[in-house]
Chain A
Amino acid sequence: MSRRNLIVLTDVVLITCIVQRGLADTIVKAAREAGAQGATVYFARGTGVRERLGLLGVAVEVEKEVINVVVASDQVDYVFDRMYLAGKLDTPGMGFIYCSNLEKAATYISPALIEKLQAQSNSDSEQTEQSSAA
């Protein structure tokens, strides 16, 4: 294993939303418009309020879609709200959404972006030096 530097992302939060099958697309669209960089969706089957509604439970689909969205920690509240409202999750049976903190994440970052980030962090550190010197 070579000793080399990996660029690792911090302050990352995972938002997971479980909805009835067929309703994921509106939520993914809302998440993207709110600033999420990507989404992953897969199918699952679930139980919950459906079993407790008696006959009305047939109006809730057993098959679910699980949506995972990774956002930065300052985006969380806004993206969470947008996903919640787009999915109308305040109606019984429409789904569930939760966030979890991630320790770190990694993906491809283009060299141009790396240089821009380094330049930005250099200028930030210069500013702090100047302000502390002044």
Chain B
Amino acid sequence: MKKTSYKSITLITAPGKGMAIAEQLFKKGLSMVDLHHARGCFAGGPTRKNGAPIESEQEIITCVVSAEDSNDIFGLVFDLGGLNQPNGGFMYMQSLMTSTQAVLPREKEKTT
């Protein structure tokens, strides 16, 4: 059995958008998606008087995909996160040494 390699894609975005993006990824067939909150700053952002940056809330969405799908999912997350607009966020992809393959059962397609 060929050993698939995996990559993880992480998106940092504004609060409120995370759940919707996670749902979209789930609909696309991904099962290994997680979401958490963080605080952070970015270059050129507001700073306090002593130089420390003013941090704001962020949501972080991480998903694990197989190597063949990785480029497509990267583009999908780029679109979903609206990264072609200013203040859209930041994303990156990492290759993983190994990963488990977790698949959640899907609802059967309803025939109308």
Contacts and interface: CB of A to CB of B under 8 A. Distances in A.
Interface in A61-116: 68, 70, 100-108, 110
Interface in B55-111: 55, 58, 60, 72, 74-76, 78, 83-95
5 contacts: A1-B75, A37-B43, A41-B55, A70-B92, A105-B91
Contacts of A38: 40-43, 45, 90
A105 B52 contact: no
Interface of A: 1, 6, 8, 12, 14, 25, 28-29, 32-33, 37-42, 68, 70, 100-108, 110
Contacts, number: 86
A63 to B, nearest CB: 15
B83 A108 contact: yes
A14 B10 CA distance: 11
Interface residues of B, number: 35
Interface of B: 7, 12, 36-43, 45, 51-53, 55, 58, 60, 72, 74-76, 78, 83-95
